[in-house]
Chain A
Amino acid sequence: MAALEELEREYERAKRDKKFQARLTELLTTYAGRPTPLFFARRLTQKLGGAKIYLKREDLLHTGAHKINNCLGQGLLVERMGKHRVIAETGAGQHGVATATVCALLGFECVVYMGTEDMRRQELNVFRMRLLGAEVRGVSSGSRTLKDAINEAMRDWVTNVRTTHYLLGSVLGAHPYPTMVRDFHRVIGREARAQILKAEGKLPAAIIACVGGGSNSIGIFYDFIKDEKVRLIGVEAGGRGEKLGDHAARFRGGSPGVLQGTYSYVLQDSGGQIALTHSVSAGLDYPSIGPEHAALRDSGRAEYVPASDAEALAATTLLARTEGIIPALESAHAVAEVVKRAPRMKNSEIVIVNISGRGDKDIGIMRENLKLD
């Protein structure tokens, strides 16, 4: 608790500190590559025949996903707090790579916890982290995925809390993490809103983003929440079926509970034990969801739908072949939803899909699952 309070204090101070904000903006611009483009997907729009589809290109950021936004923000906080050791969890490896990158940039010692199942399916990212100087520690308890990596990172943090910062990668965990991580990703929606107004002179009818913990989605949703006519659509991992254990759709099969310091919707059994989850995408394979998403869903401001493994894989191929963009399997879930939704929308309506990451890390899984000629 003491460490969380210190973090909250330091974060509140940094938020008001113009120098801190200027340094963050500079790094986001000159190092990470912001602003990211908002791209009109002409051929995909024609093919689906309905709403005009724009893609927010977070996949073009340094390290290949939106995760770097938060890592740079927290990295600068670590400097302020005078800590020198950083730990992180990672599922798909994108957050781990972004953390390892920022640690190399700012000169911190870096340890990344990763489920051994994820290490197997995201082998390339494991090597990338090691190349960047990080130590990757495999976690072989539980489902050997993101949830278990977070458990182990939390155990490390409570043990080494005096010297170590836990660079949590999603809008999860105890306060202030969900708020702070959201704030570091708000830039996605802020840019997208200005970009669409400039390009089209009006707001979109809908925003679509995938939701694992929910960092890219809350990032793009947040500045549109006040625009009540803009529908906010989160896409969860529908996995391979509706049975508990076969998916990670918290709003379809979950109920309120506490996991890892967060009260939110959780996939669990009747005794309150956390359920195993499945998704083709390691980054969505998590039994709980950021608490702010739970609030947005309960208030009706945002809606959440599942996309299956098969739908995500089909969407990957479609986007690759219509636009020349290979999305991460996480982001492909958002593309799968626009495939279903755009044809039912008017030509005059606009929809923005957040392409939160690029698909290079998933090429191995795509090869296993996509039978191409």
Chain B
Amino acid sequence: MPLSFYKKPGLVAYVTCGDPDLATTREIVLAAIEAGADVIELGVPFSDPVADGPVIQRASERALRHGTSLAQVLTLAAEVRVQAQSTGLIIFSYLNPILRMGMEKFCKVARAAGVDGVLVTDLPVEEAGEYLRAMREYDLAPVFLAAPTSPDGRLKRIAEASRGFVYAVSRTGVTGARQELASDAKKLVKRLRRLTRLPVALGFGISTAEQFAEVGEFADAVVVGSAIVETIERNRGREAAAVGEFVGKLLAVSCQLSVAAR
């Protein structure tokens, strides 16, 4: 059961693979795991990342400039798996690269690489029949995004189709840091609680230790993406170390506050 959270709140850390290059991504991922990340989202760069804000857009462009592909990301996943057996690994991709590889082949290679789950940003649960069948067949956990604007009926479908955890989106919009946590977030997590016993991870716009701790008060885990990608962007040459420090800082503050809150 690698898709589980060993602390509260757990940390799901996203990286865009191939930014600045695949070897560095591997070091970054291992540093994040070392610093305590429970689940790693291996982002597959895509030419048209409609769900992403400027930070991940820039990272995707950098990664694509030297041709980072889904196949390479799966190889990277296998390498990480060898060194980290108990960390959850999720492939985070847009649909087209997966379709191009072939759903069946993708699932097979992902399973063999030791991947635990898959999140396809632009595949809504309503259109996911074939995908869900393949996920089941290869014992991969599908993770779907739940938005604050989703009505209860849709949240229910998302919760039922998800395995491992449900990914709650803190606000309407694309990925990227925000000054304040939207009031939408808490409400959404509450609504999801009524519908599922799966852990709920909250993401989009969480970039500081304070926000991380605040979310930890009501969600099981926090997804941090753009803030990590920005750390990579700003620390050329010492990316892995910088991400390790950043992740450590997030988890440290959260633990202290959690203890105090109890």
What is A's interface to B at a CB cutoff of 8 Å? 1-3, 141-142, 147-148, 151, 154-155, 158-162, 255-261, 266, 268, 270-274
Q: Complex formed: what's the CA distance from A273 to B96 in Å?
A: 7
Knowing A154-B50, A258-B99, A259-B48 touch, does A141 contact B57 (C-beta < 8 A)? Answer: yes
- Across the interface, do B51 and A158 meet the contact criterion of CB distance under 8 Å? yes
The one of A3, A258, A261 that contacts B149, using a Cβ cutoff of 8 Å: A3
Q: Is the interface of B mostly helix, strand, loop or mixed?
A: loop
* B161 part of interface (Cβ distance < 8 Å): no
CB distance from A75 to the nearest CB of B (A): 23
The one of B71, B97, B122 that contacts A261, using a Cβ cutoff of 8 Å: B122
Given contacts A261-B122, A274-B47, 7 further A-B contacts (CB under 8 A): A2-B147, A147-B48, A151-B50, A256-B99, A259-B48, A273-B96, A273-B97
Q: Complex formed: what's the CA distance from A270 to B50 in Å?
A: 21
Q: Complex formed: what's the CA distance from A154 to B100 in Å?
A: 23
* B235 part of interface (Cβ distance < 8 Å): no
CB distance from B233 to the nearest CB of A (A): 16
CB distance from A155 to the nearest CB of B (A): 5
- Across the interface, do A273 and B172 meet the contact criterion of CB distance under 8 Å? no
What B residues does A271 contact at CB under 8 A? 67, 69-71, 97, 100
CB distance from B25 to the nearest CB of A (A): 17
Q: Mark B81-101, 1 if CB is under 8 A from A, else 0.
A: 000000000000011111111
- Across the interface, do A159 and B172 meet the contact criterion of CB distance under 8 Å? yes
Knowing A151-B48, A159-B173, A274-B48 touch, does A257 contact B149 (C-beta < 8 A)? Answer: no
For chain B, the bracket of interface size reads 20 to 34
What A residues does B53 contact at CB under 8 A? 155
- Across the interface, do A155 and B100 meet the contact criterion of CB distance under 8 Å? no
- Across the interface, do A258 and B95 meet the contact criterion of CB distance under 8 Å? yes
The one of A148, A158, A273 that contacts B174, using a Cβ cutoff of 8 Å: A158
CB distance from B197 to the nearest CB of A (A): 24
Q: Complex formed: what's the CA distance from A268 to B98 in Å?
A: 13
What A residues does B100 contact at CB under 8 A? 255, 257, 268, 270-272
Q: Mark B57-81, 1 if CB is under 8 A from A, else 0.
A: 1000100100101110000000000
The one of B49, B99, B126 that contacts A1, using a Cβ cutoff of 8 Å: B126
* B237 part of interface (Cβ distance < 8 Å): no
- Across the interface, do A268 and B173 meet the contact criterion of CB distance under 8 Å? no
The one of A3, A158, A162, A257 that contacts B99, using a Cβ cutoff of 8 Å: A257
What B residues does A155 contact at CB under 8 A? 50-51, 53, 173-174
What A residues does B122 contact at CB under 8 A? 258, 261
* B154 part of interface (Cβ distance < 8 Å): yes
Q: What is the chain A residue whose CB lies nearest that of B93?
A: A272
Q: Mark B224-256, 1 if CB is under 8 A from A, else 0.
A: 000000000000000000000000000000000
CB distance from A5 to the nearest CB of B (A): 8
Q: Complex formed: what's the CA distance from A260 to B48 in Å?
A: 8
- Across the interface, do A272 and B101 meet the contact criterion of CB distance under 8 Å? yes
- Across the interface, do A162 and B172 meet the contact criterion of CB distance under 8 Å? yes
What B residues does A260 contact at CB under 8 A? 48, 50
Knowing A158-B174, A261-B122 touch, does A2 contact B96 (C-beta < 8 A)? Answer: no
* B129 part of interface (Cβ distance < 8 Å): no
Q: Mark B126-163, 1 if CB is under 8 A from A, else 0.
A: 10000000000000000000010111001000000000
Q: Complex formed: what's the CA distance from A259 to B48 in Å?
A: 8
The one of A162, A258, A268, A272 that contacts B70, using a Cβ cutoff of 8 Å: A272
Q: Complex formed: what's the CA distance from A11 to B57 in Å?
A: 33
Query: Which 8 A-B pairs give the minimum distances between C-beta atoms?
Result: A272-B100, A272-B97, A159-B173, A271-B69, A274-B47, A273-B47, A272-B96, A154-B50
- Across the interface, do A158 and B173 meet the contact criterion of CB distance under 8 Å? yes
Q: Complex formed: what's the CA distance from A162 to B57 in Å?
A: 24
- Across the interface, do B172 and A160 meet the contact criterion of CB distance under 8 Å? yes
CB distance from A134 to the nearest CB of B (A): 22
Q: Complex formed: what's the CA distance from A158 to B126 in Å?
A: 18
What A residues does B94 contact at CB under 8 A? 258
Q: What is the chain B residue whose CB lies nearest that of A276?
A: B47
Q: Complex formed: what's the CA distance from A204 to B240 in Å?
A: 67
Q: Complex formed: what's the CA distance from A258 to B49 in Å?
A: 12
What B residues does A257 contact at CB under 8 A? 96, 99-100
